């Protein structure tokens, strides 16, 4: 049975994390394509070699670019990689988009990951939760805990800057990648989640990203869209002709009103209204 992490431990070294994973045997890493889970994949590969496997979940709330990035990361760290399809939209509790939506999503996802690992002799299931993730209410972490997932980065006492430093030292290619979240996080609580809306968000964000913006959030409330980019990039997105091109691109995928948030991206926000 895994250790239950209630509070972050004093900082430990990468060597200690590798030793801890090695002692527990074959490992499955839930690899999202972000730097946190990418680092865990690298640590698991260093710990148990070919007995480590990374699994990325593909579904309506996961952007195709994120799945592709996870594949590139897995190849870079040398870990076997599999992609498994899941559909949390099958759950009415998820579609209702209440504040604990992530709990229902993670419950579906962890069940799929454990099914994948069941025939592979997996002894431990690892995720990329790190200390900074514990600073607010995260119902998805509760679902991971209930499914028996271990949080090596929390055990190590690592915050996001610690993770980036260790990832860079280990040659993880996305060590400086901005944090991301599932597409459902762009939808105001109480507004039902649907495959059509998620697709609209994904296509809209993909267009903005293709214009060279590093971090993009397309927040929605109904058919209203508000685009967030990093604060130092707001002026470019609001300048012509790009501003008009943005409105045309987003209305063409189904949004009725489009605005650029003048304050730019701010992390840890919940959409309530635009």
Sheet holding 257-260, edge to edge: 216-221, 224-229, 257-260
Q: Which CATH entry fits the domain spanning 14-169: 3.40.190.10, 3.90.550.10, 3.40.50.2300, 3.40.50.620?
A: 3.40.50.620
Q: What angle do CA 270, 272, 273 make, to 5 degrees?
A: 130
C-alpha of 8 from chain center: 21
Interval 206-229: pLDDT, tens: 999 999 999 999 999 888 999 999
Take residue 140 and report the two structure tokens written for it. Answer: 């998805």
Question: Which segments of the chain belong to CATH 3.40.50.620?
Answer: 14-169
* Residue 185: closest CA among 80, 85, 66, 75: 66
Q: β-pairing, 224-229 with 216-221?
A: antiparallel
Burial class (CB in 10 A: 0-12, 13-18, 19+), 85: exposed
Copy the structure tokens of residue 184: 């459902």
Which of the four pLDDT bands, split at 50, 70 and 90, describes residue 135? confident
Is 80 exceeded by the pLDDT of residue 99? yes
Q: Where are the alpha helices (DSSP H) in the chain?
A: 14-24, 35-48, 64-77, 92-95, 101-118, 139-146, 152-155, 160-169, 195-210, 234-238, 242-252
For residue 84, the model assigns a pLDDT of 97
pLDDT(110) > 50: yes
pLDDT at position 180, please? 84
* pLDDT band at residue 137 using 50, 70 and 90 as cut-offs: confident
Cis peptide before 241 (omega within 30 of 0): yes
Cβ atoms of residues 41 and 52 within 8 Å: yes
pLDDT confidence band for 168 (50 / 70 / 90): very high
Distance between CA atoms of 140 and 117, rounded to whole angstroms? Answer: 20
State residue 6's pLDDT score. Answer: 45
Residue 179 has pLDDT above 90, yes or no: no
Whole-prediction pTM: 0.90
All residues at 6 or more sequence positions from 49 whose CB lies less than 8 Å from its CB, including other chains: none
Sheet holding 80-85, edge to edge: 80-85, 52-58, 27-30, 124-126
Phi, psi of 257 (to 5 degrees): -125, 145
The length of the chain is 274
């Amino acid at each position: 049975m895994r250790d239950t992490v209630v509070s972050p431990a004093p900082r430990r070294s990468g060597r200690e994390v590798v030793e801890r994973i090695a002692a527990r045997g074959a490992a499955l890493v839930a690899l999202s394509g972000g730097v946190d889970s990418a680092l865990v994949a690298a640590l698991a590969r260093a710990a148990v070699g070919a007995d480590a496997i990374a699994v990325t979940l593909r579904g309506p709330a996961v952007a195709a670019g994120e799945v592709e990035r996870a594949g590139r990361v897995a190849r870079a760290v040398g870990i076997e990689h599999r992609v498994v399809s899941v559909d949390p939209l099958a759950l009415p509790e998820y579609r209702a988009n209440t504040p604990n939506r992530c709990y229902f999503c993670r419950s579906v996802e962890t069940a799929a990951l454990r099914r994948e690992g069941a025939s592979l002799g997996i002894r431990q299931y690892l995720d990329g939760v790190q200390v900074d993730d514990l600073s607010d209410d995260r119902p998805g972490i509760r679902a991971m805990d209930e499914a028996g997932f271990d949080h090596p980065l929390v055990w190590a006492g690592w915050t996001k800057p610690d993770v980036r430093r260790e990832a860079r030292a280990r040659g993880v290619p996305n060590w400086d990648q901005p944090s991301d979240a599932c597409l459902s996080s762009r939808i105001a609580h109480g507004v039902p989640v649907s495959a059509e809306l998620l697709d609209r968000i994904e296509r809209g964000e993909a267009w903005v990203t293709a214009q060279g913006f590093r971090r993009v959030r397309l927040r929605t409330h109904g058919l209203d869209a508000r685009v967030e980019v990093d604060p130092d990039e707001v002026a470019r997105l609001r300048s012509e002709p790009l501003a008009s091109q943005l409105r045309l691109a987003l209305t063409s995928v189904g949004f009725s009103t489009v605005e650029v948030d003048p304050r730019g991206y701010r992390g840890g926000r919940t959409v309530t209204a635009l």
